[in-house]
Structure 1
């Protein structure tokens, strides 16, 4: 028998190492991708809760704005009535000298 020399190709010994490194890299990338998905879902839910809160606040402010507009119109109408009474009907408040206060006698039942 002849001794056969085995020649070992250096690239063949590195093949399992490269394969294992590739698998490890893929596992790390998949894990990183999964963590980013979890982070994005968390961020989306946080932003959605904040948006809902701001929408509720907006609706409350719109309701208050409507009430304030009604109140403003009420006060504006009072001033407008007073202005029309003076200009169109020539009404005025009498001075104190022309004002008479009448008091009614009290009934015995009211005492």
Structure 2
């Protein structure tokens, strides 16, 4: 019986060490993937915020160029022409228009 323990214990220690190292490597891979995902999410959020601010600032600059502070949202060259308050490029958003 003593000889069986002498044969089993070293093999059991080696298998345990290999399993521990494998677990450590797999855990490290998942941690790297988790950190990468978090950093990518933060980067995407920051990029979205910056692009929205830039788009909003461009939109305000475009509107300010056509607005007359005295008469409101009219073209300054021709006071009879009414310019819509919302300056949106509708060509970038296709829509379905029903025809009756």
Q: Distance in 1 between matches of 2:2 and 2:70?
A: 100
1:46-61 to structure 2, matched below 5 A, reads 46-61=33-48
Question: 1:65 deviation in Å?
Answer: 1.0
Q: Distance in 2 between matches of 1:50 and 1:93?
A: 55
| TM-score normalised by length of structure 2 | 0.55
Q: Distance in 2 between matches of 1:27 and 1:93?
A: 90
| Structure 1 or 2: more helix by fraction | 1
Q: Distance in 1 between matches of 2:34 and 2:61?
A: 40
Consecutive unaligned residues in structure 1, runs of 5 or more: 1-13, 87-91, 95-111
Consecutive unaligned residues in structure 2, runs of 5 or more: 73-78, 82-100
